[in-house]
Amino acid sequence: MAVLVLTLPASANATRAAWALIDGDAVIAGGEIGRGEAPDLRGAALPHRVVALAPSEAVFLRRAPVPGGNDRDAQRAAPFLIEEQLAQPLEDVEAGVGTEDEDGARFIAAVDAELLAVWRKFAVGLGIKPVYLVPDAFALPDVGADLIAFEYGDRVLARTRAADAGTADEGRDIDMALAEPVAISVDTEFAGVLLPALANELSPKRVLVSEGLDPNLTTPEGKPVALKRVPAPDLRVQAAQAAVEDLARLPALLGAGLISALDWAGLLRPWRASAILAAIAIFGTAVFAVGEAVYLDRRAKAYQVAEQETFQAAFPDSRASNPQVQLRRALASVGAVEDSAGFLELAAALSQIMMEADDVRIDALRYDSSRGALSVSALYRDFDDFEALRMAAEARDIILEDGGARQSASGVEGDFTVRLP
DSSP calls for 112-149: EHHHHHHHHHHHHHT--S-EEEEEGGGGS--SS-SEEE
Of 90-99, 164-173, 254-263, 293-302, minimum mean pLDDT range: 164-173
Pick from 155, 145, 170, 180: nearest CA to 54: 155
Looking at the chain, the whole-number percentage of residues with pLDDT higher than 90 is: 24
What are the residue boundaries of the structural domains of the chain, listed by start? 2-261, 270-315, 323-419
pLDDT by residue (tens digit) across 310-355? 767 667 777 776 776 666 666 555 444 444 557 778 888 888 888 8
Higher pLDDT, 153 or 319: 153
pLDDT by residue (tens digit) across 364-410? 888 887 788 889 999 988 888 888 888 888 888 888 888 888 888 88
Q: Kindly tell me if the per-residue pLDDT of 263 is higher than 50.
A: no
CA–CA gap between residue 44 and residue 161 (Å, rounded): 37
Sheet holding 93-97: strands in order across? 59-65, 105-112, 93-97
Looking at the chain, the whole-number percentage of residues with pLDDT higher than 70 is: 88
pLDDT at 391: 86
Q: Of 3.30.70.20, 3.60.9.10, 3.30.420.380, 3.90.550.10, which CATH number belongs to 2-261?
A: 3.30.420.380
Same topology between domain 2-261 and domain 323-419: no
- 3-class secondary-structure state, position 64: strand
Of 112-121, 227-236, 340-349, minimum mean pLDDT range: 340-349
pLDDT at 272: 63
pLDDT at 165: 64
pLDDT at 338: 47
| CATH code at 323-419 | 3.30.1360.100
197-200 own/partner pairs: CB under 8 Å, 24+ apart = 198/147, 198/158, 198/160, 199/147
Q: Rounded to 5 degrees, what are φ and ψ at 54?
A: -100, 145
CA–CA gap between residue 387 and residue 375 (Å, rounded): 17
Mean pLDDT of 234-257: 89
pLDDT at 336: 43
Number of C-beta neighbours around residue 129 at 10 A: 19
Strands, E assignment, 219-301:
226-230
Higher pLDDT, 12 or 275: 12
Per-chain mean pLDDT for the chain: 83
pLDDT by residue (tens digit) across 36-94? 998 988 777 778 899 999 999 999 999 888 887 788 898 898 888 888 888 889 999 99
Confidence of residue 145 (pLDDT cuts 50, 70, 90): confident
pLDDT at 55: 94
CA–CA gap between residue 194 and residue 297 (Å, rounded): 82
Q: Give the total residue count for the chain.
A: 421
Confidence of residue 168 (pLDDT cuts 50, 70, 90): low
Higher pLDDT, 175 or 75: 75
3-state helix vs strand vs coil in the chain, percent to 5: 40, 25, 35
Q: In Å, how far are 136, 142, 374 from 146, measured between CA atoms?
A: 18, 10, 99
- 3-class secondary-structure state, position 339: coil
pLDDT at 44: 75
Of 204-213, 258-267, 344-353, minimum mean pLDDT range: 258-267
pLDDT at 337: 45
CA–CA gap between residue 127 and residue 265 (Å, rounded): 10
Mean pLDDT of 15-29: 91
Mean pLDDT of 129-145: 87
